[in-house]
Amino acid sequence: MQEDLKTEQLARVNIYALISRLLMNEVDEELLELILKDKNILSFFPTFENWDKQKNMSAKDLIEKYLNVDFTNLLLLHLVPYESFYMREDQMMETGGDNPVQKLYNDFDFRVELDEARVMAGDHIGVELEFMYKLCEAEYKALEDEEYDIAAKIAEIEYAFLKEHLVEWAPMFLLNVKNEAGTAFYFDLADVAIEFILSDFEYLSRLKNDNYSYEKGIK
């Protein structure tokens, strides 16, 4: 695999992993320390980097006094992080087998442990992003093995999933997260999540227009 393609694919895998993890559960000390120490990751959180509370408090205090409170407000109490709410006229969440993404997950043997993830349905934003992470990881492995046809098929699924699901509803939710965030951390997270989803859709659209030919797709 070419080096630039490898770098791009690895970045996609890592960013999906990071934003899905942060939108699914509260941040822990280990992950926060990792974000603060890694300049590349920290560059996604420019407001948080300069936030006075981040500079003056320990990771533990920051999490307990601010970040967990904000996570609870934004992702558990006041906003709705489930796709079905945004796609149904009755604004209800579909927690059963008729969930729009459940069939797709089943087709790819993607199992969602709802209890473990502490979500009510598979169309939670964190779960949908994790599904994209798993797809990107599989695409990366296929490219490493020079199985370009398989990689192209996976990229096609990624494109369709973004188009029909995440791009359709996630910006509506994330814009409200950004507007209502009480901490610089979740403000930046919402911003980077929107920008990344849209830029990844841009990348996949280019790849699609080039018939999923990786040589052209990365230019």
Question: Residues in the site for other proteins, rule: CB under 8 A?
Answer: 78-80, 85-91, 163, 167-169, 171-173, 175-176, 179-180, 194, 198-199, 201-202, 204-206
- Give the residue with the Cβ less far from other proteins, 35 or 196: 196
- Give the residue with the Cβ less far from other proteins, 189 or 204: 204
The minimum distance between CB 87 and other proteins, in angstroms, equals 5
- Give the residue with the Cβ less far from other proteins, 126 or 171: 171
Tally Cβ neighbours within 10 Å of residue 63. Answer: 20
- Give the residue with the Cβ less far from other proteins, 142 or 170: 170
The minimum distance between CB 78 and other proteins, in angstroms, equals 5
Q: DSSP readout, the chain?
A: --HHHHHHHHHHHHHHHHHHHHHHS---HHHHHHHHH-HHHHTT-HHHHT-HHHHHS-HHHHIIIIIHHHHIIIIIISS--BHHHHH-TT-----STT-TTHHHHHHTT----HHHHT-SSTTBHHHHHHHHHHHHHHHHHHHHTT-HHHHHHHHHHHHHHIIIIIHHHHHHHHHHHHHH-SSHHHHHHHHHHHHHHHHHHHHHHHHHHTTT-HHHHT-
User: Contact, 4 vs 217, CB < 8 A?
Assistant: no
- Give the residue with the Cβ less far from other proteins, 179 or 213: 179
The minimum distance between CB 86 and other proteins, in angstroms, equals 4
- Give the residue with the Cβ less far from other proteins, 112 or 190: 190
Cα distances (angstroms) measured from residue 163 to each of 58, 65, 200 = 40, 37, 11
The minimum distance between CB 70 and other proteins, in angstroms, equals 13
- Give the residue with the Cβ less far from other proteins, 29 or 168: 168
The minimum distance between CB 17 and other proteins, in angstroms, equals 22
The minimum distance between CB 212 and other proteins, in angstroms, equals 15
The minimum distance between CB 127 and other proteins, in angstroms, equals 19
